[in-house]
Structure 1
Amino acid sequence: MMPRKFALLFASLTLCLSSAACASTPENIDSEKAAIEVEVVTSGLQHPWGMAFLPDGRMLVTERTGKLRIVDTDGNKSAPLSGLPEVLVKNQGGLLDVAIDPMFSENQRVYFSFSEPVSGTQKSSTAVASAILEENGLSEVQIIFSARPKIDTGHHFGSRLVFDREGALFITLGDRGSQRHGAQQLDVHYGKVVRVLPNGKVPADNPYTKDDNVLSDIWSYGHRNIQGAALHPQTGELWTHEHGPQGGDEINIAEATKNYGWPEITYGEEYGGGEIGDTEQAGMEQPLHYWVPSIAPSGMAFYTARAFSDWQGNLLVGSLKFRQLVRLELSDDNKVTHEERIDIGQRVRDVRQGPDGAVYLLTDHPDGQILRLTPGK
């Protein structure tokens, strides 16, 4: 039997490895272009995954374990909101991203993505629902998108939600891990960006609406697992980043009908070594930027506020693997001209610019936190 003092030490070490309890997030950071103060807005979130700001400054926050909460500006967390549909929490699956309707002030409608189960099985796929946000829960919940086919695996669900300037909703999807070659097939949703209207219907200007051999909601394809997406503040184009395998995380501009190559081209390799495909082929897009080794990117935002004046126009990306905020400077022709790695000390799952100009981060831990980054004095 393990002596009690060693058992307690083992339990303590296990907690440190699995939670934010022993994370070493600094209170002050000296970055290249700004002194940064780091404030813990709230903690006690179970693997938080996505957040969205409400017009009054409060935050909607998802926990992968299947809970949706409201966090106020003082960091107070609501009880889990009622009314969510059944969520299959398995491996990487669960309650994922959240977004508010562009007309939220008039309709109080919100959207969230999750791993949708098939009753009585372990099969699932990424789905998106809309609902009316009430004070303590959700009403009028409607499933507006359900990826197909559903399969029994708990990996690579995507999934970020971004409204474009026309009010249509981009949904990013993963290849589900075991279905990598489906990313090149246009009759399944694996490894795609799709575009739908807020009611789930397909926009008339989608690129494949007149092709009976292609799912009409598909926008772009050849993706592996997109966990970061944002509209460019000037052009309105959808920028995405996706996980590579071992190496080869990518940033792309997801354009209609474009093929981003997975798994035919990649700068990564099989886990444990071994080639997957080429690094380039005719008819397949090259990434704007890629990482070898992988940083495990998640969450992404363009910074446009004045608080960090020297960051304006920069792209901010969270890193799960290296526990960093990655700041990318961009040229007018969409080239990454400089990269800075800012150590946060925790796995960064989501990145958002707040209405106050601060940068907000979600940390992916059993005791996850919301961090607020502001300029240091």
Structure 2
Amino acid sequence: MIHRILTPLVLLLSATCARADLPFNTQEIASFDQPWALAFLPDGRMLVTEKPGSLYVVTEEGQKQAVGGVPDVDFGGQGGLGDVLVHPEFDSNSRIYLSYAEAGVGGTRGAAVAHAELDLEGRRPQLRNVQVIWRQYPKMLGRGHYGHRLLIDTDGYLWITSGDRQKFTPAQDMQSNVGKILRLNDDGSVPEDNPFMGYFDTDPNVDDGGVYNQIWALGSRNSLGIDQAADGRIWQIEMGPLHGDELNLVTRSANYGYPTVSNGDHYDGREMPDHDTRPEFDEPALWWSTSIAPGDLMIYKGQRFTEWQGNAFAAGLGSKAIIRIELLDDGSARELERYDMGQRIRSLTEGPDGAVWVLEDERRDQGGRLLKLTPR
């Protein structure tokens, strides 16, 4: 009996790390199969997605319960179940959002976003009234660069990052919502004050279902993080080609220039013109010539890490690090610190009490853990 009582305590202590070179303690809470995103419910529990297609309700102690009714996902490559977002008025509408890769005709694929009501009352959590409210247009061959990170801002607008699907030119094509930053109402409809609303209405040759109306900014490659700062500004982070990862301030009708310009190069070694050669495009606030491979972006607003307030944090996949960034008033930014985590970092989320929750990526037999970071 004594052994059974002591074992959980021993496991808890062994899962808590206080490395001298890190300003936080790291506690292992649970592990997952290719986790991708995390969001907090109002009661303090979390929703965690796994790329193969599972969604879980997770307690702060690591107890997991699978959610039923999740849409079918087209799992493979970079595709699968992606982001999860809890509506700010969840207590009254029970609404959550999911992004995922969706199969199309002839082997094509594209990202989709659905909202649903999360029923937590039964024996098993269940999604009800699932409705797809957005799709990448057009669907394409390939299994990379979906983007599909989600944000609801303080004005209630839904933001979607839409990756370029590794097809380059659609990022500059106004008849496609691929390679763009999109702004919608929370029901998926288009706000009437979007910058390109009705832009092509007088052109009889344009017939694209009005996807240009959704566009807020264009010229992105694979934007895998978006968040809003306390001052209301919205920032996004994206993977460049060979190096050239970017942090960008999201502004109305901005064009970040991809694939015409990038501070990185093509993977086959061909050079790309740098941003400073084409001043008509918006330059990044910060860029990395040695790739950090960003997987997510979090702007810290809590009280627990007082020295971090207002800083942005990038989840580093290839760099296996958490990168702390200062956001400056003039729209630029600078890297402050880099915390070596020893694993690919997929997602970062601020918890209700100001702790930082981390999802490791899972590749082969490494990672996949949910970690809680608290001050030392």
TM-score by length of 2: 0.88
Where does structure 1 lack aligned partners over 5 or more consecutive residues?
1-24
Residue equivalent to 2:11: none
Distance 1:279 1:261 in 2: 8
Q: Work out which of the residue numbers 141, 160, 184 in structure 2 matches 1:152.
A: 141
Give the ranges of 4+ consecutive aligned residues of structure 1 lying more than 2 Å apart after TM superposition.
276-280, 329-339
User: Structure 1 residues 329, 282: CA separation in 2 closer, same or farther (over 3 Å shift)?
Assistant: closer
Q: Work out which of the residue numbers 29, 43, 62 in structure 1 matches 2:19.
A: 29
Indicate whether 1:209 and 2:233 are aligned. no
Question: How far did 1:109 drift?
Answer: 0.2
Secondary structure of 2:295's counterpart equals strand
Question: How far did 1:207 drift?
Answer: 1.2
Q: Work out which of the residue numbers 184, 189, 193 in structure 2 matches 1:196.
A: 184
Question: How far did 1:122 drift?
Answer: 2.1
Q: Work out which of the residue numbers 86, 111, 119 in structure 1 matches 2:97.
A: 111
Question: How far did 1:336 drift?
Answer: 2.5
Q: Work out which of the residue numbers 60, 75, 83 in structure 1 matches 2:62.
A: 75
Distance 2:20 2:306 in 1: 15
Cα displacement string for residues 202-237 of structure 1 (whole angstroms, at most 9, x for unaligned residues): 111111112125611111100000001001111x12
Distance 2:127 2:110 in 1: 22
**Does the CA contact (< 8 Å) of 1:330 and 1:338 recur in 2?**
no
Distance 2:173 2:191 in 1: 21
Secondary structure of 2:177's counterpart equals coil
Instruction: Please show how residues 163-312 of structure 1 align to structure 2 within 5 Å.
Output: 163-177=152-166, 179-212=167-200, 215-234=212-231, 236-280=232-276, 281-312=278-309
* More deviation, 185-194/304-313: 304-313
Residue equivalent to 1:8: none
Distance 1:26 1:269 in 2: 40
Cα displacement string for residues 217-276 of structure 1 (whole angstroms, at most 9, x for unaligned residues): 111100000001001111x12200000011100000111211000011101011142212
Distance 2:196 2:331 in 1: 27
Secondary structure of 2:96's counterpart equals strand
User: Structure 1 residues 69, 325: CA separation in 2 closer, same or farther (over 3 Å shift)?
Assistant: same
Cα displacement string for residues 275-297 of structure 1 (whole angstroms, at most 9, x for unaligned residues): 12343313200000000111100
**Does the CA contact (< 8 Å) of 1:132 and 1:140 recur in 2?**
yes
* More deviation, 296-305/359-368: 359-368
Residue equivalent to 1:20: none
Residue equivalent to 1:128: 113
Secondary structure of 1:183's counterpart equals helix
Question: How far did 1:337 drift?
Answer: 4.0
Distance 1:57 1:66 in 2: 23
Distance 1:371 1:193 in 2: 29
User: Structure 1 residues 155, 337: CA separation in 2 closer, same or farther (over 3 Å shift)?
Assistant: closer
Residue equivalent to 2:85: 99
Where does structure 2 lack aligned partners over 5 or more consecutive residues?
1-14, 201-205
User: Structure 1 residues 285, 72: CA separation in 2 closer, same or farther (over 3 Å shift)?
Assistant: same
* More deviation, 295-304/271-280: 271-280
Question: How far did 1:35 drift?
Answer: 2.7
AA partner of residue 28 (structure 1):
A
**Does the CA contact (< 8 Å) of 1:263 and 1:277 recur in 2?**
no
User: Structure 1 residues 337, 87: CA separation in 2 closer, same or farther (over 3 Å shift)?
Assistant: closer
TM-score by length of 1: 0.88
Indicate whether 1:141 and 2:130 are aligned. yes
**Does the CA contact (< 8 Å) of 2:291 and 2:319 recur in 1?**
no
Question: How far did 1:304 drift?
Answer: 1.6
Question: How far did 1:330 drift?
Answer: 3.1
Residue equivalent to 1:344: 341
Residues matched between the structures, number: 345
Distance 2:331 2:91 in 1: 34
Question: How far did 1:166 drift?
Answer: 1.9
Question: How far did 1:30 drift?
Answer: 3.7
Residue equivalent to 1:372: 372
Distance 2:253 2:302 in 1: 32
AA partner of residue 164 (structure 2):
D
* More deviation, 301-310/247-256: 301-310
Distance 1:58 1:357 in 2: 14
Cα displacement string for residues 317-357 of structure 1 (whole angstroms, at most 9, x for unaligned residues): 11000210101123333432442110111110011111111
User: Structure 1 residues 26, 105: CA separation in 2 closer, same or farther (over 3 Å shift)?
Assistant: closer
AA partner of residue 154 (structure 1):
R
Indicate whether 1:328 and 2:316 are aligned. no
AA partner of residue 293 (structure 1):
T
Distance 2:23 2:337 in 1: 14
Residue equivalent to 1:15: none
**Does the CA contact (< 8 Å) of 1:30 and 1:36 recur in 2?**
no
Question: How far did 1:305 drift?
Answer: 1.3
Residue equivalent to 1:22: none
